[in-house]
Amino acid sequence: MVEGRGGVVAAMAVLGLLKVSLQCDVAQAASYTVGDTKGWAMNVNGWENGKTFKANDILVFNYTKGAHNVVVTTKAGYDACKAAPSEKVYISGKDQITVAKGDNYFICTIPGHCASMKIKVTAS
C-alpha cells in the first residue's frame, strides 16, 4: 500500500508541475488592442510598427459593429485588399484573434476601407 500511495503522490506532483508549466505559457501571451484607444478604424495602418509580437499573442479589434470587419488573410489578399471566399470574416466589433508565428495579415473588407485599414503583424 505504501508503494501505491507513493505512486499517487508522484503522479500528483507531475500533474502539478504540468499545470504550472501550462499556466506559464499562457501568462507569456500578450494582448494588444489594435489602434490603441482609437481602435480598428480608418488610418490604422502603421499601428503595428515598433511593437514586438510573439506567437499566441492576442490582437483585440474594437470597432462599431456593422461599420467595419476584420479578415485574417494572405499576403496576396493583403496586397490586393481582397479576401478569399474561404477566409473568415469577423464582425462582432470586439474580435480577439491569436497571432501565429510568422507574418499575419489583417484587412477590413468594407468597400473603400482596406487602403487605410490593413496591418501586417510579424510574430516570433
From first to last of its 124 residues, the chain has per-residue pLDDT tens of: 445 555 554 444 444 544 544 444 455 899 999 999 999 999 999 999 999 999 999 999 999 999 999 999 999 999 999 999 999 999 999 999 999 999 999 999 999 999 999 999 999 9
3-16 in b/e form (b: 16+ CB < 10 A) is eeeeeeeeeeeeee
* pLDDT score at 23: 46
pLDDT of residue 28: 82
Please tell me the predicted confidence (pLDDT) of residue 110.
98
Contact 69, 108 (CB under 8 A): yes
Architecture in CATH of 30-123: Sandwich (2.60)
Domain spans of the chain, in order of start: 30-123
Identify the pLDDT of residue 14.
Answer: 47
- Please choose, from the candidates 71, 51, 60, the residue with its C-alpha nearest in 3D space to the C-alpha of residue 113: 71
Tell me the chain's radius of gyration from C-alpha atoms: 20
Distances (CA, A) of 9 to 5, 13, 20, 122: 6, 6, 17, 43
